[in-house]
């Protein structure tokens, strides 16, 4: 393999890994105050991509306006999901795993509605302002500025999420609710309000993932399940709750997948990724950066 080919594969792997990491972080944002993995998170990413196509391409809105509207719309859908598929279950500890079925059912409904509205054909979405899909050459490395934009947005957004959790009162309140909902309520924190807010923000972040990924992947109703699985893999390898761990794990998965594309069929690439997840969890059951049940607040 030529050096140029190797570097091109790694550039693709890092870019896709950043996308997987953003999906994993959106899982974390919803999980923090609820201990609920939202199985509809992949379809919320898909909705972000499809809304971006409709607003930016069909309605010809400016990129920033279309992105803002897409994020707001998906945030509202995420809030609606929390109200109808999660909130009632959180009030009944005896049914604390019912969210697996309820959020999965919500994702199936979203997918079927999206298929009916948008169809199944992939659609183009404009790149981030100032970026293009044109290939650039820098020494032996080939890449597009859209790939650079995706990686930079992933790193910047994850840094922002970490700052909110570590440095703001809202973030500390979320961590308190994650530790003990009843104790947080006795200290004047509203777990229900923080749960609603976290689901809306997680949905908006998933939509952002779809908006920035769509120029590379194309907007299609079929991308949700794929990104859900890859994002969950990154979450498992990085460690639940660790956003920087999700970034490292996403890049690892993206690079393994990209390098594996040289000699493996898509089915065998999936087997390879699952083998990586299994190997990591056998050695580190809580993920590379996960911690077993330590108190945060």
pLDDT in tens, 252-279: 999 999 999 988 888 899 999 999 999 9
Residue range of the domain that includes 130:
3-283
Longest dimension (CA), the chain: 62
Q: How confident is the model at residue 77, as a pLDDT?
A: 97
SS3 137: strand
Instruction: Give the contacts of 285 (CB within 8 A, at least 6 positions apart).
Output: 292
pLDDT tens readout for residues 200-233:
999 999 999 999 999 999 999 999 999 999 999 9
- pLDDT value at 295 more than 60: no
In percent, the amount of the chain with pLDDT more than 90 equals: 71
**For residue 44, what pLDDT band results from cuts at 50, 70 and 90?**
very high
Q: How confident is the model at residue 70, as a pLDDT?
A: 97
DSSP 25-36: HHHHHHHTTT--
Q: Is residue 294 part of a domain?
A: no
Q: How confident is the model at residue 297, as a pLDDT?
A: 47
**For residue 94, what pLDDT band results from cuts at 50, 70 and 90?**
low
Q: What domain count does the chain have?
A: 1
**For residue 170, what pLDDT band results from cuts at 50, 70 and 90?**
confident
Q: Is residue 80 part of a domain?
A: yes
How far is residue 85 CA from its own chain's centroid? Answer: 19
**Counting beta carbons within 10 angstroms of the beta carbon of residue 80, is it exposed (0 to 12), middle (13 to 18) or buried (19 or more)?**
middle
CA 280/CA 39 separation, integer angstroms: 23
Residues 139 and 257: beta-carbon distance below 8 Å: no
Instruction: Give the contacts of 286 (CB within 8 A, at least 6 positions apart).
Output: 239, 240, 292
Q: Is residue 132 part of a domain?
A: yes
Q: What is the CATH number of the domain that holds 15?
A: 1.10.3470
Q: What angle do CA 59, 198, 205 make, to 5 degrees?
A: 35
Q: Of 20, 19, 38, whose CA–CA distance to 29 is shortest?
A: 38
Residue with tokens 């923090």: 32
CA 157/CA 46 separation, integer angstroms: 19
β-bridge partners, 138: 141
- pLDDT value at 5 more than 50: yes
Q: Is residue 81 part of a domain?
A: yes
Q: Is residue 292 part of a domain?
A: no
CA 132/CA 197 separation, integer angstroms: 34
- pLDDT value at 98 more than 90: no
Q: Is residue 293 part of a domain?
A: no
β-bridge partners, 136: 143
Q: Of 122, 152, 129, whose CA–CA distance to 217 is shortest?
A: 122
SS3 134: coil
Q: How confident is the model at residue 293, as a pLDDT?
A: 56
Q: Is residue 143 part of a domain?
A: yes
Q: Is residue 297 part of a domain?
A: no
Q: What angle do CA 287, 289, 295 make, to 5 degrees?
A: 100
In percent, the amount of the chain with pLDDT more than 70 equals: 96
Higher pLDDT, 296 or 30: 30
3-state DSSP helix/strand/coil % of the chain, to nearest 5: 75, 5, 25
Instruction: Give the contacts of 109 (CB within 8 A, at least 6 positions apart).
Output: none
């Amino acid at each position: 393999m030529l050096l140029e080919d190797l570097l091109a594969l790694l550039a693709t792997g890092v870019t896709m890994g950043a996308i997987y990491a953003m999906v994993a972080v959106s899982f974390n944002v919803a999980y923090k105050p609820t201990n609920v993995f939202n199985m509809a998170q992949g379809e919320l990413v898909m909705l972000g991509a499809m809304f971006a196509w409709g607003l930016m391409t069909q309605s010809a809105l400016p990129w920033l306006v279309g992105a803002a509207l897409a994020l707001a719309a998906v945030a509202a859908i995420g809030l609606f999901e929390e109200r109808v598929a999660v909130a009632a279950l959180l009030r009944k500890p005896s049914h604390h795993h019912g969210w697996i079925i309820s959020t999965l059912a919500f994702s199936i409904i979203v997918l079927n509605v999206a298929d009916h509205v948008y169809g199944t054909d992939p659609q183009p979405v404009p790149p981030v302002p100032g970026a293009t899909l044109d290939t650039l050459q820098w020494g032996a490395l080939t890449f597009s500025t859209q790939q650079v934009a995706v990686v930079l947005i992933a790193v910047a957004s994850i840094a922002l999420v970490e700052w909110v959790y570590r440095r703001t009162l809202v973030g500390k309140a979320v961590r308190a609710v994650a530790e003990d909902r009843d104790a947080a309520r006795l200290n004047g924190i509203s777990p229900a309000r923080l749960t609603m807010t976290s689901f809306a923000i997680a949905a908006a972040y998933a939509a952002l993932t779809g908006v920035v990924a769509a120029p590379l992947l194309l907007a299609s109703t079929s991308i949700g399940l794929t990104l859900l699985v890859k994002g969950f893999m990154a979450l498992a390898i990085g460690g639940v709750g660790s956003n920087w761990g999700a970034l490292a794990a996403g890049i690892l998965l993206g690079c393994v997948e990209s390098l594996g594309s040289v000699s493996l069929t898509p089915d065998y690439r999936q087997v390879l990724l699952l083998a990586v997840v299994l190997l990591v969890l056998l050695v580190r059951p809580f993920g590379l950066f996960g911690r077993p049940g330590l108190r945060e607040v």
